Amino acid sequence: MPALHWDWLLTTARQRLHWAWVQAGPRVAVCWTGGKDSTVLLHLWCATLAEKAPGLRPRAIVIDTGWKFPETIALCRELAWQWDVDLHIVSPPQDCGVPVAVDPVACCHARKIVPLRRAVADLGLEILMVGVRADEHPDRAASGWQWPVDGHWRLAPLLEWQEQHIWTYHVWAAIPWCSLYDDGYRSLGCIPCTRRTKAPGERAGRDPRKETHMTMLRSLGYF
């Protein structure tokens, strides 16, 4: 990748993180999935706070739906300890009344969106940062790098990054990634809706019904 483009991506991401700090100070959190993208985002946010507010612990929210890969939750716990992250793991009720993965919109709403909404309100957040990228889905590209959701702002500081940029950062910054990527996964979600694939497209291994309903899911507060 051209060096200037890489420099631009890093500079732009850092500028957006600086903007988040100026706008909301400590009332910012990263929504951390344990995947490669949000791990890069959290690492950059840790560096931002180390510069702007030494001693302030970066805050992260992990949504444990009850169907997450154990490897992703384990990585979050381990890195949170190493990076001194203020980690908040939130979950839906054990019986949320929605069958798993039968209706992807209802399932994601009950197991991801509702717990996330509750966590944002309980923590008094003004900004929630997510690791989504424009090249993952047209709806993610259309929203831009910031948009309002339920009384707070969502920020996507890595919006213009692509898959190879994420992996470049992991290697360049020497930060670990979930072992599932080494086992043939390219995009990590819940176990029933994620599979290994050699098909073209980073999200080819995700449940296609969810991908086709992304507009509705984002209107409900998904990211």
Residues 33-67 pLDDT 10s: 999 999 999 999 999 999 999 999 999 999 999 99
**Closest among 124, 129, 67 to 92, alpha carbons compared:** 67
Q: What pTM, to 2 d.p., does this model score?
A: 0.95
Structure tokens at 130: 């997510």
Enumerate domains of the chain plus CATH numbers: 3-219 (3.40.50.620)
**Closest among 162, 169, 128, 120 to 147, alpha carbons compared:** 128
Residues 144-203 pLDDT 10s: 999 999 999 999 999 999 999 999 999 999 999 999 999 999 999 999 999 998 888 899
